[in-house]
Structures are given as C-alpha cells and as structure tokens.
Amino acid sequence: MIANYHTHTPRCNHAEGAERDYIERALEAGFVELGFSDHTPYFFDKPDYYSTFRMRPEQLEDYVSTLLRLREEYKDRITLFIGLEAEYYPKLFPRLLDYIRQFPMDYLILGQHALYNETEGIFSPRPTEDERLLDQYQGQTMEALETGLFTYFAHPDLFQFTGDPKAYDRHVRAICRKAMDLSIPLEFNLLGYSEGKHYPDPAFWRIAGEEGCSVVLGSDAHSPKETWSPDLIAKAETLLAGFGIHPMERVTLRPIR
Ligand SMILES: [Zn+2]
Ligand SMILES: [Zn+2]
C-alpha cells in the first residue's frame, strides 16, 4: 500500500486529529499519495433534518483551504488530494454538485450510508432481510456509478443483508459487473476489517474476485494512526489473495469540474 484515498477530519464530528497528523502518519508509511475524503456536507430538503456524521456546508471552505495550504507545504514529500466521501441521494445530488463545483475538488468516493435520500431513515448498515431494500441499494449505487463522478466505491458491502444468500449473490454480482463495465474500483475497507464490523463481507469479496473486479485498500482513517496499519494491510492482502484479488496500488482520480 503506497496510497490511501479514504481519510477523514474532525469536521464530520466522529474523527479526531489534525490533518497534519494524518499526513505525518502517511509519510511514516512511505505513502506517495494521500487523499482526504471527509464526509460531504449535504443540503437536505427537510428543514428540521441534518445528519450529525458530516460537515456542514459552511465548513467546506475551511476544509479545502486548509488542505490547499498543506498540499503546498508538503509538495516535495507527498502528493495530497482533496476529495469527499459522498452518498448518492438522487433528489439532493444535483444541488450538492453545484455547491462543491465552486471548490477545486480532486475526487469523490461513493459511500452509500443510507438509502433513498437519507431522510427516510433507512441506513445501510442496519441488518435487514428485506430483499426490496437490497434491490434499492443495488439500483441506487449502480445509478451513482453511472454518473461517472465517483472515483471509487467505498465499502460497497456496507449494506447488511441477512436474507436469502442467493438473492445477495445476484445483487452483488450486478454491482460488481457495473463497476467492472465502468472501470470503477471497489474499496476493501480496512477500518471495518480492524473493528470486526459486518463488512468487509467475505461473501461479497468472493463474488468480486470471481467477477475480476479492480480493488483498492482504503484506510477510512478517523484518527491519524488508522491512516496506516501494516499488520492489518498484510492480513487484508492475504485474505483477498484467497479470492484471487490483488489490490491496485493507486487509482486514477476523476476530478469534479
Ligand atoms: Zn466516518
Ligand atoms: Zn469514510
């Protein structure tokens, strides 16, 4: 692992540590590239609703200007990229794009934390055996990938389906094929792996291997030390090799212009 594109900052209310500390940790790791992709702000259409796990729109300017300064300061040692981890909420996405296009945004990663437009309250990690929701997750994330705006798909196995394994296989295979067709890498999420969450889900990665998907490791760092964990990376690589997957070292970013 010589690059990580999944790094947070305290603006999302559930990460800690200064940007500089994440960068120093990446240098310690020998990374050549580090991308920040904090949880995007969003404009919700219910006045009394705002999710607590993302920055506010008015914080985006400080996020970008802080990283631009650090990019300049560290330019001889590491390449820094400015991105966001964003959900694809069909009704709200156009306004978000209009807003973030005012900033020099190097990339977006897709992290689909909720279905529909979030205000329906159906969150991807909540276990369900309802195949209609799995179907919605599949359709919504495939539509997201088709926009061509996402550089990669973070924790694509975030949706926790506890129903019929055959249904899971069918839906996951469709997502994997779509990502393949569009040359979009899937992220094996190291944070979920280290914390023993329901993802990474071996059932998902077996299918991704069979389908020949491109895969990238993502730290999903919410603290500087999580930027790089050599033992964890070695374990992940061994697991993935068992599915015939060899993660790519770098990804080609899709800038938002
Ligand atoms: Zn987070
Ligand atoms: Zn994340």
Higher-confidence position of 111 and 257: 111
Domain ranges for the chain:
3-242
Mean pLDDT of the 175-184 span? 98
Of the pLDDT bands very low, low, confident and very high (cuts 50, 70, 90), residue 103 is: very high
User: How do residues 127-169 score in pLDDT, each as one tens digit?
Assistant: 999 999 999 999 999 999 999 999 999 999 999 999 999 999 9
Q: How far is the CA of 180 from the centre of ligand 2 (A)?
A: 22
Q: How far is the CA of 14 from the centre of ligand 2 (A)?
A: 10
Q: Do residues 111 and 86 make contact, with C-beta atoms less than 8 angstroms apart?
A: yes
Q: How far is the CA of 73 from the centre of ligand 1 (A)?
A: 26
Q: In what order do the strands lie in the sheet with 107-110?
A: 3-4, 33-39, 79-86, 107-110, 150-153, 186-189, 215-218
Q: How far is the CA of 45 from the centre of ligand 2 (A)?
A: 23
> Which residues sit opposite 38 in a β-bridge?
84
Right CATH number for 3-242 from 3.20.20.140, 3.30.70.260, 3.60.20.10, 3.30.590.20?
Answer: 3.20.20.140
Task: Give percent of the chain above pLDDT 90.
Answer: 99
Ligand nearest to the Cα of 7, by number = 2
- Residue 184's pLDDT is 98
Q: How far is the CA of 125 from the centre of ligand 1 (A)?
A: 13
- Residue 210's pLDDT is 98
Q: What is the DSSP string of 177-196?
A: HHHHHTT-PEEEEHHHHHTT
Q: How far is the CA of 221 from the centre of ligand 1 (A)?
A: 8
**Is the pTM above the cut of 0.85?**
yes
Residue 165: Cβ-neighbour burial (10 angstroms; 0-12, 13-18, 19+): exposed
Q: How far is the CA of 132 from the centre of ligand 2 (A)?
A: 25
Q: Is the dihedral of CA 173, 179, 183, 185 positive or negative?
A: negative
User: How do residues 222-235 score in pLDDT, each as one tens digit?
Assistant: 999 999 999 999 99
Mean pLDDT of the 209-234 span? 98
- Residue 9's pLDDT is 98
Q: How far is the CA of 177 from the centre of ligand 2 (A)?
A: 23
Q: How far is the CA of 5 from the centre of ligand 2 (A)?
A: 10
User: Cα angle at 237 between 231 and 241, to 5 degrees?
Assistant: 150
Mean pLDDT of the 195-215 span? 98
